[in-house]
Structure 1
Amino acid sequence: MKFTKIILAALCAIMIASTAMAMDMKPGDGVTLRPARATWNTGFFQEALARRGLEELGYDVKKPKDLTNPIAYKTITLGDIDYWCNGNFPLHNPQLPKNFHEKASILSPIIKAGGMQGYLVSKKEVEKFGIKSLEDFKRPEVIKAFDLNGDGKADLTACPPGWGCEKVISKHMEVYDLKDYVKPIKASYEAGMASALGAYKSGKPAFFYTWTPNWTVYKLKPGKDVMWINVPEEGDTEGTVSGIEGAVSDPLRPGFVVYDITVVANKKFLAKNPAAATFLENFTLPLSDVSEQNTRMNEGEKSDKDIAKHVDDWIAKNQDKWNAWLDAARKAAAK
């Protein structure tokens, strides 16, 4: 009996030690990774989180290169960059090199339908006037409510000249015959949205274009403060999207391409590094978390040190999920 107890104790000790070793496994030890990063700072957070996870797996992850989309996809295809976390698909499909799918992979979305774009209207006015689409801004009572400067047109906080969204909004104004009813405000977007937010807080209606992830949908939450509205069906070329929180209808016709935010990686890199591949495949984020972090940046926390602190805070709040990703990665490496 005594001998059996000794054997059992020894086995338990071995199992505990093995578990501890598995938790501390560094499958990436000795391997250097070369990431890229978007040129827009609203995409920095997911890159920083992915980098932290890969470092915990033992990889030596270089400082990311800030690249434009076409250059990023080309360098990943060539094998000069291993991965980036700022793929937007199907939006970026036209920017892929011809041999992209032979050399690179688009992984499961970090944020499904995370790249939402469209028009938001204060919920109070949506309910008061029964607003469903841009077409409702031709109604006299709606124009009057949203005419903040007395020029006889509803004021829309839009995009500065030269932005891609500015061109789409201008097209909508023309295609839907809205030029005599809606006035897009094309000043600095940050300044325009700050003004719109201030007006909303003082009890005035809000009508603005935005995209996600973005601080705007953290300050004015869809479904609570504002609602996504449709573009009129006639002339719409971007189709519909379902399951959007805070939309006036399901499906919704936003008038803009809605895209997934994904990791894109070189195939040889993925094959040689199963731990990294598994971590990046499992890595997901709620859109609300990214919007909250973007808000902190908008309020001044923009440095790499600040973003590293945001990563610390997110991991602390999501420790079980984080550990599960790391465990899955270590198990993949051990096979």
Structure 2
Amino acid sequence: MNKLLSVLSLSTVIGLGASQGVMAKETIVIGELNWDGAKAIQNVLKVVMEDEFNVDVEFIAADQAAIWAAMDSGKGSVDVFPDIWTTLQDQAWKKYVLEKGSVKSNKLPYLGSDGFFIPGYIQDEYGVKTVYDLAKPEIAALFDSDGDGLGEYWPGASGWELVKTNQIKAKSYGFAEYFEPVVVTDAIMKAQLKTAFRKKEGLLFYYWTPEWIHYAYDLRQLEEPEFTGYTNERKKDDKDYNPEAGCYSYEDTDNWLEDSEISCAYPITPIYIGYSASLEERAPEVATFLSNVVLDSSYVSEWVFSMSKGDDAIDVAEEWVEGHQDIVNSWLQ
């Protein structure tokens, strides 16, 4: 009898262990984007989530449209969009966050700005201060690295929606006639930036703040007319819709370049962390945490600057989290 009870007890323990083994950790998948700020954020989120919750965190590289679609499906193929520049993802933001509610965001964004930049030595020697100064053949020649008679500019990396909007700007400001867009990765562009400064050559490129390159190089943002509102009808529900004084009309048509006009600066951008609403059921503590994360541009600048010196993103994240438990604890409340 005792032997039978012992066997039954052992069977019960094994059964419980097997049952617990079936209850594997939830895996949280973060969409890996191709700029340093996003990579820094995703690693900080990974460190905190794996430290504080019973989850594994994985990264998967995908373009932004695919990340939105995956979060919308709620099946866990991608759960988190770590760095949503809302003015550049306005249609997806409206569709999935504001209308469908299939994607949620943290409550408070950090702020970013963006535009066209050139080396300071080019501005000082040739007086290139505004985007309109680029619409001259003698100025474009300063940025012609291949000798084909056209200057080159970087509108962004493949898969970025703003690649199109920057080409529309070039047309609207009149310098598209003298320049050609060259779409390469962010890493290649930064290598070109390093070479340009070493050789004191011209380089025209789109970029943003916060970012480490502004610490490392003397970069000057070209002046543009102030943003006064969106003109096109697709923005009629946006708080910045202004058909009378608007200067920003991007038409998503087959002839987007000809049909669109953008003749002003980008607005200051609220930048959010997005996550699939399905996490509220699958991993509610994780969803609550993500909704409470409050980033600051100074944090992001610090992370990407450390990464620029060769530090691995995960090491930067671990060191920062360990040294800023007060901030992390505020996210966990």
After TM superposition, the score normalised by the length of structure 1 is 0.61
Asked if residue 260 in structure 1 is aligned to residue 259 in structure 2, the reply is: no
Listed as ranges, the gaps of 5+ residues in structure 1 are: 1-29, 240-251
Listed as ranges, the gaps of 5+ residues in structure 2 are: 1-22, 227-244, 251-262
| Deviation (angstroms), 1:229 | 1.5
- Residue of structure 1 in register with 2:295 after alignment: 284
| Deviation (angstroms), 1:186 | 5.0
Asked if residue 38 in structure 1 is aligned to residue 31 in structure 2, the reply is: yes
The whole-number CA distance in structure 1 between the counterparts of 2:159 and 2:34 is 19
| Deviation (angstroms), 1:226 | 0.6
- Residue of structure 1 in register with 2:325 after alignment: 322
The whole-number CA distance in structure 2 between the counterparts of 1:203 and 1:169 is 25
Of 207, 212, 223, 1:218 maps to 212
**1:132-211 matches, cutoff 5 A:** 132-139=129-136, 142-143=139-140, 145-146=142-143, 153-158=150-155, 164-185=161-182, 190-211=187-208
Look up the equivalent residue of 2:30 and give its one-letter code: R
Change (3 A) 1:138 1:51: closer
CA contact under 8 A between 1:77 and 1:104: conserved in structure 2? yes
Of 59, 75, 94, 1:80 maps to 75
- Residue of structure 1 in register with 2:248 after alignment: 237
What SS does structure 1 have at the residue aligned with 2:292?
A: helix
Change (3 A) 1:179 1:80: closer
1:196-215 deviation line (CA, Å, top 9, x unaligned)? 421212333432223567xx
- Residue of structure 2 in register with 1:23 after alignment: none
Look up the equivalent residue of 1:181 and give its one-letter code: Y
Look up the equivalent residue of 2:170 and give its one-letter code: M
Change (3 A) 1:55 1:267: same
- Residue of structure 1 in register with 2:55 after alignment: 60
| Deviation (angstroms), 1:137 | 1.8
Change (3 A) 1:121 1:323: same
The whole-number CA distance in structure 2 between the counterparts of 1:315 and 1:179 is 45
CA contact under 8 A between 1:89 and 1:262: conserved in structure 2? no
| Deviation (angstroms), 1:118 | 2.6
What SS does structure 2 have at the residue aligned with 1:108?
A: coil
Change (3 A) 1:36 1:152: same
CA contact under 8 A between 2:32 and 2:59: conserved in structure 1? no
Of 301, 308, 318, 1:295 maps to 308
Of 301, 308, 311, 2:317 maps to 311
Look up the equivalent residue of 1:326 and give its one-letter code: N
- Residue of structure 1 in register with 2:221 after alignment: 228
The whole-number CA distance in structure 2 between the counterparts of 1:94 and 1:193 is 29
- Residue of structure 1 in register with 2:7 after alignment: none
- Residue of structure 2 in register with 1:49 after alignment: 44
Count of matched residue pairs = 273
| Deviation (angstroms), 1:284 | 1.4
What is the Cα-based RMSD across aligned positions, in Å?
4.3
